[in-house]
Structure 1
Amino acid sequence: MARDYIEKRDGGYWVAGTRVSLDSIVYAFLRGAAPESIAQSYPVLGLEEVYGVIAFYLANQMEIDAMLANSDREFEQLRTQTRESNPGLYKKLEEARQHLPTTRK
């Protein structure tokens, strides 16, 4: 029996019945994460759902890649606008970031 693993809502694609976005899974997949690893990172998803999302991505790769590229551009524009409108805040954030440890224990 065929199952829908993806639903379109709120202007984006989501894993059906969850709050996990398609792009979260796709970016992990594109970084080389194995489906088993992705499923472990998202306990609400089973391995079947992860494979379903990856299959959906591969079947609609051009459309999804274009959507992700557009989202990346919008994010960069918003980040630039925010930095320009709040330079003091970003200076404090950068100073705080420099004091963070660089390795995890």
Structure 2
Amino acid sequence: MTAAAIEPEPVPLTRDAAGRLVVIGTRVPLDTLVAAFERGDSPEAIHESYPTVSLGDIYAIFTYCVRHRDDVNAYLAGRAEERGAQRAEIETRFPPDGLRAKLLARPDA
């Protein structure tokens, strides 16, 4: 009996138009899955929250994250910097000062 050749499967991640890593066939970003796992959610609970991502893909992605921890951490740190810069730009263009008071003062509030 000959042993069957086992071919490795590619990590089910791709870059979207914005450059984010997302699960192939979905719009679920890697950041979201990692944040849920770090919060203590099990892969099964994450699958329940994001049913478009198969349980097998979640396990494959987390395996990749464990094996390439430095690369994933660098990617996540870069994404956090991008989000911070984007937030700063938005707050510069649209200062949030007094926004809550303005919203509460609206007649339909």
Aligned 8 A contact 1:29 1:35 in 2: yes
Name the TM-score, length of structure 1 as normaliser. 0.75
Q: C-alpha separation between the residues in 1 aligned to 2:74 and 2:102?
A: 35
The 5 A counterparts of 1:1-105 are 1-10=7-16, 11-87=19-95, 90-91=96-97, 93-95=99-101
Q: C-alpha separation between the residues in 1 aligned to 2:12 and 2:101?
A: 41
Secondary structure of 1:5's partner? coil
> In the TM superposition, what is the alpha-carbon distance from 1:94 to its structure 2 partner?
3.5
Task: Name the count of aligned residue pairs.
Answer: 96
Note the residue ranges of structure 1 that are not aligned, 5 or more in a row: 99-105
Secondary structure of 1:14's partner? strand
Q: C-alpha separation between the residues in 2 aligned to 1:86 and 1:59?
A: 42
Q: Percent identity?
A: 31
Aligned 8 A contact 1:15 1:21 in 2: yes
Name the TM-score, length of structure 2 as normaliser. 0.73
CA deviation profile, 1:30-83 (whole Å, cap 9, x unmatched): 111111110000111221111111111111111111111111112112211211
Secondary structure of 1:82's partner? helix
